[in-house]
Amino acid sequence: MSKVKHSAFKYDFLGSDPKDIQRSVSNHLVYTIGKDPYTATDHDWMMAFSHVIRDRLIERWMETQRNFYRHDAKRVYYLSMEFLIGRSLINSLLNMDIHNACTEALHKLGIELERLRNLEHDAALGNGGLGRLAACFLDSIASLNIPGYGYGIRFEYGMFRQKIENGCQVELPENWLIHDNPWEFPRPEVSYRIRFGGRVMEYQDTTGRRHFDWIEGDVVIAQAYDTPIPGYKNDTVNNLRLWSAKAYEDFDLNRFNEGEYTEAVVGKTLSENISKVLYPNDSSTMNKRLRLKQQYFFVCASLKDILRRFFTDHDSLSDLPDKVAIQLNDTHPAIAIPEMMRLLMDKHHLEWQPAWEITTRVFSYTNHTLLPEALETWPVDIFEQLLPRHLQLIMEINRRFLLMLGHLHPGDMDILRRLSIIDEGNGRRIRMAHLAIIGSHKVNGVSALHSELLRNSTFKDFNSFYPGKIINITNGITPRRWLYQSNRGLSTLISDAIGPEWIRDLSQIKQLESLAEDSAFQERFCAVKQANKQRLAKLILYYLDSKVDSNMLFDVQVKRIHEYKRQLLNLFRAIALYNRLLDNPNANHVPRTILFGGKAAPGYTMAKLIIRLINDVADVIDNDPAVSDRLKILFIPNYDVTTASDIIPAAELSQQISTAGMEASGTGNMKLALNGALTMGTMDGANVEMHENIGADNIFIFGLTTEDITRLNRQGYQPRRYYDSDPVLKRVIDMIANGFFSPEEPTRYRLITDSLLNNDHFKVIADFKSYLEVSDRADQVYLNTAEWNRRAILNTARMGYFSSDRTIQEYAEKIWHVKPIR
């Protein structure tokens, strides 16, 4: 397009007052959707309106991108398998500050914004914490004017939809793109060839230097789709680029000519399978070839794109670390390290040393887990088949690393074995975390405790070898989505009290502290909570046909279902409370609804059994008129970003009760506390720092600490001794084991009770007593409404530290060395 006259190219910036918006909606209904008001459905209006917002996003997007070029900005690239964005409509118009104008414009057309809002599908390209963190980070990066890009996969099927049938989880495919996605721009011209398999060819150039070239194999095309990410009221719009797999050639023509039409089409489908579906597992790994293909697919396309952008204005690769920072969200994209080496050496003909220097200065890696089953390893032979050149490079990276390590620890074979990228003990596997640590200049944990455990235990030897490399950056959440958008009542109350600056700078929310004792403010705070509870109760009645009394205490545990998160411990407490109500109907019990929500990985038998038990217990209690007006258990199906935004503002108690040392950070804990829920929690993940910030009096901490657990394990933990000596606990376990909640199949839950009594790896039994005690303490406070409200206000007021803006500022300063572009 060299003949295009840039000076002649002009376009109109769109107005954002109600009249402009009203006109734009009408235009889009006619010209984009092809409907008029006589035939338009709600969905048509929603699409027309989304295009109005999209127009206003794209003009800011272009301006922002051009500005990055004008400033020759250093960019940060956030590589993540998952981005759990949720809905975009309200987020976009609030961040662009056109919410009121839009409400008014739609109202004039006789349309309620709220109705359109509920028609939007969640973009659910993630499992849970890790993916939602990536989404919060994108919001903060844009809100801080940082030149940043997300890179990931445009999965055709996102996280499955969860249905509960007869108490059991059923997974339904989430084909979210069927509904048209107004938030993405396909970029067919931005596409790259991605190779799999083949072989490595070695050759010598005229100077005698050896080179390697990866040839043959199968090729798939990665095509870009861009989603604009608006910052909060700053006109910055960043880019999330997701890759979709397309067949290299639509048909294998040779086969087609031979009459094998079906085989030819199957080949096309196979290559396009790569971006078909998100693996629905949040904390264990699967050695599926397709998963490794997904990882390499998006990493390879992203690096090619990053280098293409770099070469627009630069020609020396030695400048790369000054212009590019790449953050690896967990080890899923760690293959980027050998891929960068391949590009620098095989394509750009750098020698090993300068290539390695550039690579390590560009990359940094975030660790998200201490669970051994979640630390990724790949069998060497899968690599050999799919990525032969990368295997060579990994072996060479490892050889050089072990050589250095050997110099430092002569004769110590054990340390070489422990730190090697190759695990020789398990049928030869590649430890992706070791590759990521060796190939990065910084590694970070996601809470103070987690980083401490990384340094002193999981990666202790690495920490000695690379002092200062492993740092902590505590996670955060975006106050825009998790308070400003999802809790409009509280948000307005806060802005009325201290002004709206907290939305941009959450540390300002501290000013609420002075109002914690103010009884008028307490009442308003409490009224907002009550309204949120009523709203949630209405939704539950409408969608689940279940009655919840909004005068009860709302006690909430929403997160993935996992043994270490201990939904079982919460359920044990519920059963103990049930027994108390039966035994002592006239005592002063706090009436409560215990809400559970969360998905189980489809192959995780124990987690699915826990969901079923929750539903069985809920049923028995619901059908027991002696207690049902004072205790209710409810499992809310299909927990996702949108349900989270409905539940969290209504929560009063937040259950954050993982086994100490197992939850890296948690972010649900932050969302709930920010919305004024008091936490019942263990000293785990970011709970530790919440305890520090919120103050010991305003959080209910209980249970074993990491040190206690180490000691207990050393002594030999015997869960049966607790069972024998605690009649309350014994009764709970016996009821489950003997089929009280499953009379039609009394042994249904033996897998659970046997595993607890014989092993109890997650210390449910050991923590039960102190959990019940702290629950009673919480109830005592709840009976004193003013005191509860005071503490709830202090929770909200003291969550300033947990903004993802603070988190991103730390990444920008300590790791990326990128500056805002205004």
Catalytic residue positions? 368, 559-560, 565, 667, 671
Rounded CA-CA distance 62/297 in Å is 27
> Which residues of the shown chain bind ligand IMP in the complex (CB under 6 A)?
62, 65-66, 69, 309, 312
Helices (H), 173-288: 253-257, 261-272
Tokens of 210: 């050896």
Minimum CB–partner distance for residue 236 and ligand IMP (Å): 13
Q: Which is nearer to ligand IMP, 65 or 295 (CB)?
A: 65
The residue whose Cβ lies closest to ligand IMP is 65
8-state DSSP, 551 = T
**Shortest separation between residue 309's beta carbon and ligand IMP, angstroms:** 5
Distance CA 340, CA 356 (A): 9
Strands, DSSP E only, in 643-787?
Answer: 653-656, 678-681, 700-701
- Minimal distance, residue 816 CB to ligand IMP, in Å: 18
CB-nearer residue toward ligand IMP: 11 or 38: 11
- Tell me whether residue 25 or residue 299 sits nearer to ligand IMP (CB atom): 299
- Based on CB atoms, which residue is closest to ligand IMP, 309 or 431? 309
> Which CB sits closer to ligand IMP, 312 or 586?
312
In this structure, the chain runs to a length of 822
Helix (H) or strand (E) holding 576: helix 567-583
Nearer CB in complex with ligand IMP: 73/781:
73
Q: How far apart are CA 367 and CA 334, in angstroms?
A: 11
Pairing outcome for strands 168-172 and 237-247: unpaired
Q: Specify the DSSP element, H or E, that contains 364.
A: strand 363-366
CA distance 313 to 323: 10
Q: How far is CA 326 from the centre of its chain?
A: 18
Q: What are phi and psi of 268, to 5 degrees?
A: -65, -45
Which amino acid, residue 542?
Y
Locate 794 and state its tokens.
Answer: 């202090």
Q: Least distance to ligand IMP from the beta carbon of 241, Å?
A: 8
Amino acid of residue 283: S
Cβ nearer to ligand IMP, comparing 66 with 730 = 66
Q: Smallest gap, in angstroms, from Cβ of residue 230 to ligand IMP?
A: 16
Q: In angstroms, what is the minimal distance from the CB of 182 to ligand IMP? A: 19
Give 38's Cβ-side CA count (13 Å radius): 0
Closest contact distance (angstroms) between CB of 75 and ligand IMP is 9
Nearest distance, CB of residue 66 and ligand IMP, angstroms: 4
Two structure tokens written together for 427:
């049928």
The C-alpha atoms of residue 276 and residue 292 are separated, in whole angstroms, by 14
What secondary structure does DSSP assign to 442-490, as a single string?
EEEESSHHHHHHIIIIITHHHHHHSTTTEEE----B-HIIIIIIT-HHH
Task: Tell me the angle at which helices 764-783 and 750-758 cross, rounded to the nearest 10 degrees.
Answer: 100
Q: Six-digit token pair at 647?
A: 């539940």
